Amino acid sequence: MFVGPEYSVTAGFTNALWIPVRPGTDTALLLGVAYSMITRDEDGSLINWDFLNRCTVGFDADHMPADATTSESFRDYVLGISDGQPKSQEWASEICGTPVELIDRFADINSCKNRVSFHSNSAPARCKGSENYPQLLMTIAAMGGHFGTPGNSCANDQYYGAMNSGILVHVPYSGTPVRFTNAQNPVQKCVSLDIIWDAIVDGEYWDAGNNFPGCQVHEPRREKCDIRVLISETNNFLASQANSNKGIEAFRKVGFVFASAYYMKVDAQYADVVVPVVTRWENDQAHLYVGTNMKDKELGFASRAPLPRLAECRTDREVAAGIAERLGMDYEAMNPKSDKQCWFEQITQSAVMLPTGPMPIAEVTEADLEKYGVEGAPQPGIMPFEQYLSDGVYRQERSADDAWANPMASPSPLSWLIPRPTRLPPPLPASSRSTARLRATGTTWSTATPTAARALPTTSRFLRCRSISRLRSATRRPSLTGRTRSRANTPSR
């Protein structure tokens, strides 16, 4: 089953059932699914009541957490008992555009009688009024009991290894984004991306600093700004950021817009100058999104440019270096490693993390260094460098008795990643119901009742369904109406 505004190629490849939904209204759709499951369930035909009762708090009035600040349970909210508005299939359909029969079909598929694995990226939560989407998705999965048993799961799957992450095969991050620093930049102010249009158009913004290397984070303070130049490089914010109409207004207000692009993206259509750049198909360069935390733990990737450059296209690095030269700046001093060098290092530093120590995947010879004109040293590896490039991928084979299937000497792998607390809280009595909270963006998670969760992993014992507190009725997002005039069609300034 595929849920989204348009039917994707991936969905077509798997012949998936398409559940269409208007952008930004996934929350309403899921509330309709919850209503369908609650009202159509007959003695556990759809809902896993045992899982909800043992492993969650807040689903109904009989299972509210002891420290709840409201008497409104998730069930009461969905049925409209607390606010007078039932979140029925018809109510949801009017908002999200999904036919009622498909909402019921979604509910049937999510039944506790089926094995269901939810894979979601973060896009549905990146819309105004959609902040509660992640908690609601997990609540829907919990209603079917789709946690902690074979064939059932629910997770953010926007990166390649989200469902199987780890560092069995380590691929380092490389390229300009992970090596650059803002330390020598005289401009330290930073505008958060979600308010960039407001800052340009209104001339004011909230500044809390930045955690980019060389920058500092500080208490939020109101700042004034007069932004006169926009540079659109490896992004297309008019198409990907909220409030495109105000974004167009911002593009038209500034005095100059520069865009680098390999096609006429929306940002480029409103730019004064557009510089054509090469794609990854035409340039050997490191890939940010194949780094260790963004891929399957058993995979390593190697790639090379299969196509020659087209016409007068240049790389992003060459464009940046050319602009820096005209500004009297030494770009090579700021960013000394070439694209080719970063590409080579990412591939040759990729390694299988054996219990005895890391083993590089690529064997490197002097001939390899000479052929690609890069710096480095010969090294042993699992396969020749050229073979790794030709294969494009390395997968570490697994077996039931391999070195990674057995407990490590360390008491916990987390002890290698985070500092241990100097003082530990006293152990909780097995019969007590206590809560441990992690507050982030208003979300409250709860762990409780160890005896009730013995069948589940300790990392996912309990879900507080009512963490989607005071969930407001979703509303339609305004559509972009009328036609806008491109900067290219306006008189030059």
**Residue 344 one-letter amino acid:** F
* pLDDT (0 to 100) of residue 10: 85
Could you tell me which residues come within 8 angstroms of residue 28 by beta carbon, excluding any fewer than 6 positions away? 87, 91, 92, 95, 96, 473, 474
Q: Enter the DSSP assignment of 201.
A: H
Q: Greater confidence, 18 or 444? A: 18
Choose among 182, 208, 178: nearest CA to 193. Answer: 208
- CB-side neighbour CA atoms (13 Å) of 396: 25
Among 57-66, 140-149, 273-282, 477-486, the minimum mean pLDDT is found in 477-486
* pLDDT (0 to 100) of residue 59: 93
Measured CA to CA, the distance from residue 124 to residue 33 in angstroms comes to 16
**Three-state secondary structure call for residue 359:** strand
Q: Enter the DSSP assignment of 473.
A: P
Q: Enter the DSSP assignment of 245.
A: H
Helix segments in 61-132, DSSP class H: 74-79, 89-96, 100-109
* pLDDT (0 to 100) of residue 430: 37
The H-or-E segment that residue 11 falls in is helix 9-13
Residue ranges of the domains in the chain?
A: 2-163+435-467
Contact 353, 170 (CB under 8 A): yes
- CB-side neighbour CA atoms (13 Å) of 274: 15
Is 236's pLDDT higher than 80? yes
Among 106-115, 294-303, 364-373, the minimum mean pLDDT is found in 294-303
pLDDT digits (tens, 9 = 90+) for 44-74: 999 999 999 998 989 999 988 888 888 889 9
Q: Decide yes or no: CATH 3.40.50.20 for domain 2-163+435-467.
A: no
Name the CA radius of gyration of the chain, rounded: 26
Q: Greater confidence, 111 or 163? A: 111
Measured CA to CA, the distance from residue 292 to residue 297 in angstroms comes to 7
Contact 432, 455 (CB under 8 A): no
Q: Greater confidence, 462 or 184? A: 184
Choose among 84, 82, 57, 85: nearest CA to 71. Answer: 82
Question: Which residues are paired to 69 by β-bridges?
Answer: none
Contact 323, 231 (CB under 8 A): no
- Please give the model's pTM, rounded to 2 decimal places: 0.62
Q: pLDDT above 90 covers what percent of the chain?
A: 52
Torsion of CA 44, 45, 47, 53, to 10 degrees: 10
Contact 153, 145 (CB under 8 A): no
Measured CA to CA, the distance from residue 194 to residue 298 in angstroms comes to 35
Q: What does pLDDT average to over the chain?
A: 80
Among 166-170, 361-365, 385-389, the minimum mean pLDDT is found in 166-170
Among 247-251, 356-360, 434-438, the minimum mean pLDDT is found in 434-438
Contact 35, 79 (CB under 8 A): yes
Contact 176, 287 (CB under 8 A): no
Contact 123, 23 (CB under 8 A): no
- CB-side neighbour CA atoms (13 Å) of 191: 19
Torsion of CA 264, 173, 194, 212, to 10 degrees: -120
Contact 132, 24 (CB under 8 A): no
pLDDT digits (tens, 9 = 90+) for 328-350: 988 888 888 999 999 999 999 99
